Chains A and B, each alone.
Chain A
Amino acid sequence: MTDLVASFSHVSKRFRLGETHDSLRDLIASAGSRLIGRRKESSRSAFWALDDVNFEVRRGEALGIIGPNGAGKSTALKLLAGILLPEKGRIEVNGRLAALIEVGAGFHGDLTGRENVFLNGAILGMDKRDICNKLDAIVAFAGIERFLDMPVKRYSSGMYARLGFAIAAHVDPDILLVDEVLSVGDAVFRLRCIDRMNELLRGGTTLVFVTHNLDQMQSVCQRAVVIDRGKSVFSGPSREAVAHYLKAMSSSYTTRPTDIPSNEQDRADGVALVNLRCLDDADEEIVWARSRQPVRVEVELRVARPIPKAVIELNMRASVNENLLSVNSGRDGSTFNLASGLHRVVLNIPALPLSGGQYFWNLRIWDADSGTAKLDTPFRYPLVLDDGGRTNGVLCIAHDWQHKIETETHVAFPDQQALIAGRIGT
């Protein structure tokens, strides 16, 4: 028996933009204009969501699909699930497949939680006896015991999503497709979802996982495919895929701050941000850096109304609404005299000990005399850090491993050498 459970070979998918007839009147009208010979150009309105994409999924593995927004990840998943048909190429699937494109897609608001479990289970391909056996586990996983006999239209959105995931997590298909659904629920629930996916993997399920969350992807998947603008740009070990993904992200940032509205640049408050960029130690502009490499953040300001004692603050965030970093010149004991004209302020950071990912800067300027904010930009100035996929989580700190055997037993661990060798420096 083959080891491949799913394969995509040279798959292309086209969507038509606009020009779909929504009512019969439009159809008749367009048929009329076609008869007269004024046929509208239709090939121009086509959009290739996927273009010659190749990848394969092996039995029992977890494959991640990552890529920027609109890259075609979900389209790939829908093709795999059989919801869409490709224009070109060949898709093969061996085994029973369940797709979780959206949690609770088959829920009906008027039915109770219990009824929806049975309905959704059937939609995902479970039979009734199977659902009966797993009902308790599903309900416990979702944590909705008390609300089981309440119509789901009265559920909170969290309960709704948890129940949706819980059902899919108990389907036990040969292949489970999961599309960006773990952004629901609180941190505890998300961890439980990751645990459950790992449990399914150990049980022999093959997993295809689409996500933006690189940490989540890496904690589940050994291998990943990077899709960028409809093309598969990389396929291989997930930590190398992350590096490729980040590189793809940073190249899409190079065209950056031109879209800032001009009124933001000359505001009445008298200070405008002309440019914010990151530089390496050779003063070259970068949007992509290695973790723990020196980074200089250069801020260019145009001051119309002088601020004799200005405090400059730079904040950095990942995608979540929480500052990872906030440096404030006032707290460092220095203020700047911003007279009218063009200014350049540089923040030197010897190393950014953060793990790989996308980060965004914002700039705030305070008037120390009046204590009012003179400028507060959105978090839109990107910096992509690459740690070579060596750490997960938030920080990438210097570390090394030590090991010695205290008492010898007869069991040998062949992996110990690898553990000892796993040092990290820069």
Chain B
Amino acid sequence: MAEDSLKVHTASIAGVGSELVRYRQLLVSLTWRDIRIRYKQSLLGVAWAVLLPLSMMLIFTFVFTRAIDTSSVLKVNMPYALFAYIGLVPWTFFSQSLTGCVNSLVANRNLVTKVYFPREVFPLSCVGGAFVDFCIAMAVLVGLVAYFHFSGTWTFTPRTTLLFLPVVVAVQIVMSVGIGMMLAMANLFYRDVRQIAGVTIQLLMFVSNVVVPIPQDGSLLGRIIALNPMVPIIGAYRDCVIHGHLPGAGGFIYATVVAFIVLVCGWACFRRASYRFAECI
């Protein structure tokens, strides 16, 4: 039997890290539980991971290309449906991670008050669950690209910049985990956080480059929108998958730095507060 000595209340990052390694099985199990539960008692099951961004894509394609004339704004040099889908899939991953995280501690009150394990497992498993959906939806992107390629109006040339994709995904995960930990913790103390987060995430989808490109005319609005660290990340997906070039260094480095700062701060706050979770929940 493993004779690992543990002082119950380790506070060092190294201690937490080794604890998390010890509980990785649990992280996998809880992630798997979240996925199972999401698609239990549903006819279409995992297909929803694809249907959700796909239907959003269809809605936005209809609105922006049929219902209203926005050709002056939508200079996207790829089929708009593709533009929307490759923005919506990472965004869905982001928003699903955060809405999961914000509720993760409160929804697992029973576990928080009755069982001990590193509390980080809760937000991490939410991001993990959203990641699985993200991977499925990204796989469908291949089919979508093929469709537009072979239907003739637009040609796709695969480039080696595709290899940069994992870096982009990693930065997004780092940011999601950081924000997710903050939200989970804050919502445990003040339930208002969930409402605020919901509205903010909804708003940010439009004040970003998810469904419309950001105005490049140097206007104030354009510069404010570019402050959102998710903007360079979404842009990076389009750059390295479709356009075949690396994302603009300035924006992407900015997003990466923000992501790591958010993670470190979020995790540190979460750690400090985690000892009070069981009594304050």
Binding site for B on A (CB under 8 A): 1, 15, 20-25, 27, 78, 80-85, 91-97, 99, 101-102, 105-106, 108, 110-111, 115, 118-119, 122-128, 172, 174
Contacts and interface: CB of A to CB of B under 8 A. Distances in A.
Q: Which DSSP category, helix, strand, loop or mixed, fits chain A's interface? A: loop
Given A85-B275, A91-B8, A111-B36, A22 B191 contact: yes
Interface in B205-255: none
Contacts of A128: 25
B199 to A, nearest CB: 14
Given A24-B190, A27-B190, A111-B36, A123 B26 contact: yes
Given A108-B33, A127-B25, A128-B25, A101 B192 contact: no
B280 interface: yes
A102 B114 contact: yes
Contacts of A127: 25
A198 to B, nearest CB: 19
B29 A122 contact: yes
Given A93-B6, A105-B115, A106-B115, 19 more contacts: A1-B3, A15-B279, A22-B191, A23-B190, A23-B191, A83-B113, A83-B116, A92-B8, A99-B114, A99-B116, A108-B37, A110-B37, A110-B40, A111-B37, A122-B26, A123-B117, A125-B22, A125-B26, A125-B117
Nearest to A205: B1
Name which of B111, B114, B189, B191 has the most chain A CB atoms within 10 A of its CB.
B114
B280 to A, nearest CB: 7
A20 B280 contact: yes
A105 B41 contact: no
B72 interface: no
A122 B114 contact: no
B25 A82 contact: no
A91 B9 contact: yes
Contacts of B1: 96, 172, 174
A320 to B, nearest CB: 27
Given A24-B190, A115-B36, A119-B29, A99 B6 contact: no
Contacts of B28: 122
B7 interface: yes
Contacts of B22: 125
Contacts of A101: 114-115
Given A93-B7, A93-B8, A105 B114 contact: yes
Interface string B257-281: 0000000000000000001101110
Contacts of B113: 78, 83
Nearest to B8: A82
15 contacts: A1-B3, A15-B279, A24-B192, A83-B116, A84-B275, A92-B7, A92-B8, A99-B116, A106-B110, A106-B114, A110-B37, A123-B29, A123-B117, A125-B23, A174-B1
Name which of A78, A81, A123 has the most chain B CB atoms within 10 A of its CB.
A123
